[in-house]
Amino acid sequence: MTSGCSGRHVEIQDGEQTVAAAEVTTSPGPEGTVQASLHAASGHVAPGNRARLVDAVMDLPEVQDSAHLAAAVPLGDSESLQRLRERAQDVTTRPAGATAIVDADLPPARGPGSGPELDDEPRAWS
């Protein structure tokens, strides 16, 4: 028996190197909850790449069709947390070990291009 959940893997690349990635799972049907786990490569990640990852996740059609977000972000990843606060509503965070758990309401879908323009398109796999 399947749960009916769908998942995606999203990557942000800098040249040939993957610098940030996310696993995104959505529950079936509109007005559901989307779960995301965001992480960046170890070492230096150029400013803006973590925000681009958040934008890529938030711009997925299935995320835009959802009403709530539950995300796991590395504790201390202020760029991702700030971008989530900009893109979502009623954002709350709480620490859980080395992770920040983010709970937020998602605004109604605004259509393509609702986020900032990206220089390079992220890769998303179903």
Residue among 60, 65, 79, 72 nearest 35 (CA): 72
2 within domain boundaries: no
Position 27 scores a pLDDT of 74
Contact 94, 71 (CB under 8 A): no
Position 80 scores a pLDDT of 96
Look at the block and give the residue holding tokens 């179903």: 126
Position 4 scores a pLDDT of 58
122 within domain boundaries: no
pTM of this prediction exceeds 0.85: no
Position 6 scores a pLDDT of 74
Tell me the residue range of the domain where 47 lies. Answer: 7-111
Q: Report d(CA 22, CA 54) in Å as an integer.
A: 9
Look up the CATH number of the domain holding residue 96. Answer: 3.40.630.30
pLDDT tens, 85-100?
999 999 999 999 999 9
- CB neighbour list of residue 37: distance below 8 Å, 6 or more residues apart: 22, 23, 71, 72
117 within domain boundaries: no
63 within domain boundaries: yes
- CB neighbour list of residue 28: distance below 8 Å, 6 or more residues apart: 4, 5, 6
How confident is the prediction for the chain on average, in pLDDT? Answer: 85
**How many domains does the structure of the chain reveal?**
1
84 within domain boundaries: yes
126 within domain boundaries: no
119 within domain boundaries: no
pLDDT tens, 13-27?
999 999 999 999 987
92 within domain boundaries: yes
- Under-50 pLDDT residues of the chain: 1-2, 113-114, 116-119, 126
